């Protein structure tokens, strides 16, 4: 390949990286919006399920406490969009932000990066739902961290968070959210492959320039 041809390939690869990073930014926005109705409904259902499943405890609470709890649940649900915006505004949640390619990364390391990216999302979802656990704990429906109580096993404190709670159990997020997560992972894979290709092309360019220089002498 000629120097000019290799330079053209490098330019095309760089453009592909930029295009994919732009698409990843779009998914970031779309995912942030897609999660909002899901979290609203899940927060509400997690709390109301305990109210129903533990009828004796519910009936034993003073009416004022129940009213207060219901009001706090409504406030939590109404404020959940802000909680999500704050959570998903953190660049650390998004692996493609400030990502630097390491030429030593083999396939297994690239796969680990992809899994780490997915794990960050799932942890964020579980932490957001932890707000339901805190509300339930405040009204004695659960005791967070109590492994002897089946209803409490779903919740645990986040280490080093100063009392923040996360939901432990698996849950289905729906096709829209799942598809966005898959799309994010696939595009991030493309960025890694393009960065690897760019590095190889840069090496090839340097070798070709040296060869051309040698041939000219």
pLDDT digits (tens, 9 = 90+) for 98-155: 777 776 666 667 777 778 888 889 999 999 999 999 999 999 999 887 666 667 788 9
Q: With respect to residue 89, please indicate whether it lies within any of the assigned structural domains.
A: yes
Low-confidence ranges of the chain (pLDDT < 70): 103-108, 146-150
Q: How many domains does the chain have?
A: 1
Q: With respect to residue 141, please indicate whether it lies within any of the assigned structural domains.
A: yes
Q: With respect to residue 216, please indicate whether it lies within any of the assigned structural domains.
A: no
Q: With respect to residue 204, please indicate whether it lies within any of the assigned structural domains.
A: yes
Q: With respect to residue 217, please indicate whether it lies within any of the assigned structural domains.
A: no
Q: With respect to residue 128, please indicate whether it lies within any of the assigned structural domains.
A: yes
Compute the 3-state secondary structure of the chain and give helix, strand, coil in percent, each to the nearest 5: 75, 5, 25
pLDDT of residue 147: 63
Q: With respect to residue 108, please indicate whether it lies within any of the assigned structural domains.
A: yes
Q: Could you tell me the residue range of the domain that residue 38 belongs to?
A: 3-208
11, 15, 49, 157, 160 from 183: Cα distances, Å: 24, 19, 33, 31, 32
How confident is the prediction for the chain on average, in pLDDT? 90
Q: With respect to residue 65, please indicate whether it lies within any of the assigned structural domains.
A: yes
Q: Kindly report the length of the chain.
A: 217
């Amino acid at each position: 390949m000629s120097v000019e041809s290799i330079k053209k390939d490098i330019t095309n690869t760089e453009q592909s990286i930029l295009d994919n990073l732009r698409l990843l930014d779009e998914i970031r926005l779309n995912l942030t919006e897609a999660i909002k109705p899901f979290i609203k409904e899940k927060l509400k259902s997690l709390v109301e399920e305990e109210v129903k499943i533990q009828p004796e405890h519910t009936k034993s609470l003073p009416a004022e406490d129940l009213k207060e709890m219901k009001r706090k649940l409504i406030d939590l649900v109404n404020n959940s969009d802000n909680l999500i915006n704050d959570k998903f505004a953190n660049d650390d949640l998004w692996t493609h932000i400030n990502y630097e390619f390491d030429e030593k990364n083999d396939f297994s390391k690239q796969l680990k990066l992809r899994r780490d990216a997915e794990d960050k999302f799932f942890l964020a979802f579980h932490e957001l739902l932890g707000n339901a656990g805190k509300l339930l704990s405040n009204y004695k429906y659960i005791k967070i961290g109590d492994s002897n109580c089946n209803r409490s096993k779903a919740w645990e404190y986040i280490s080093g968070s100063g009392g923040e709670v996360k939901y432990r159990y698996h849950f289905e997020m729906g096709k829209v959210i799942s598809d966005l997560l898959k799309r994010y992972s696939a595009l991030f894979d493309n960025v890694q492959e393009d960065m690897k290709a760019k590095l190889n092309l840069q090496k090839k360019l340097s070798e070709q320039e040296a060869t051309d220089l040698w041939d000219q002498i």
